[in-house]
């Protein structure tokens, strides 16, 4: 089986209230608006993050994004008003920082230095 595209969903209590935060996190407005309860951002050629209004599941989401340069990415996020926890070493040389959205969903930004990103 070959997987060509991945959609990773993050449930929020109120979509319109969450949009500004996710636009800051993901660097701009959504790339796709399929309906009134979902917004999608294309983060890689075959990878999408979608934010979906789902009150019952809001706050229970986990999402991990791997970047080439963790320090530069976190500095950019800080400039957009996104707060994050301390940078942690998971196991050398992998590092991460955890961000919580307004609903409490956990977004981890990670970097594996040995793999070049």
Q: Are 36 and 60 in contact (CB under 8 A)?
A: no
Domain boundaries, the chain: 6-115
Residues 25-55: pLDDT tens digits? 999 999 999 999 999 999 999 999 999 999 9
Buried b (16+ CB within 10 A) or exposed e, 51-63: bbbbeebbbebeb
pLDDT recorded at residue 91: 78
CATH homologous superfamily for the domain 6-115: 2,3-Dihydroxybiphenyl 1,2-Dioxygenase, domain 1 (3.10.180.10)
Residues 51-109: pLDDT tens digits? 999 999 999 999 999 999 999 999 999 999 999 989 998 877 789 999 999 999 999 99
Q: pTM for this structure?
A: 0.88
Average pLDDT over residues 12-34: 97
């Amino acid at each position: 089986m070959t997987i060509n595209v991945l959609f990773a969903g993050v449930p929020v209590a109120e979509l319109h209230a969450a949009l500004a935060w996710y636009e800051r996190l993901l660097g701009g407005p959504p790339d796709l608006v399929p309906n009134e309860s979902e917004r999608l951002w294309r983060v890689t050629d075959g990878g999408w993050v979608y934010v979906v209004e789902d009150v019952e599941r809001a706050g229970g989401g986990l999402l991990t994004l791997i970047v080439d340069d963790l320090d530069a990415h976190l500095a950019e996020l800080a400039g957009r008003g996104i707060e994050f926890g301390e940078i942690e070493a998971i196991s050398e040389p992998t590092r991460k920082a955890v961000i919580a959205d307004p609903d409490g969903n956990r977004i981890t930004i990670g970097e594996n230095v040995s793999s070049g990103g």
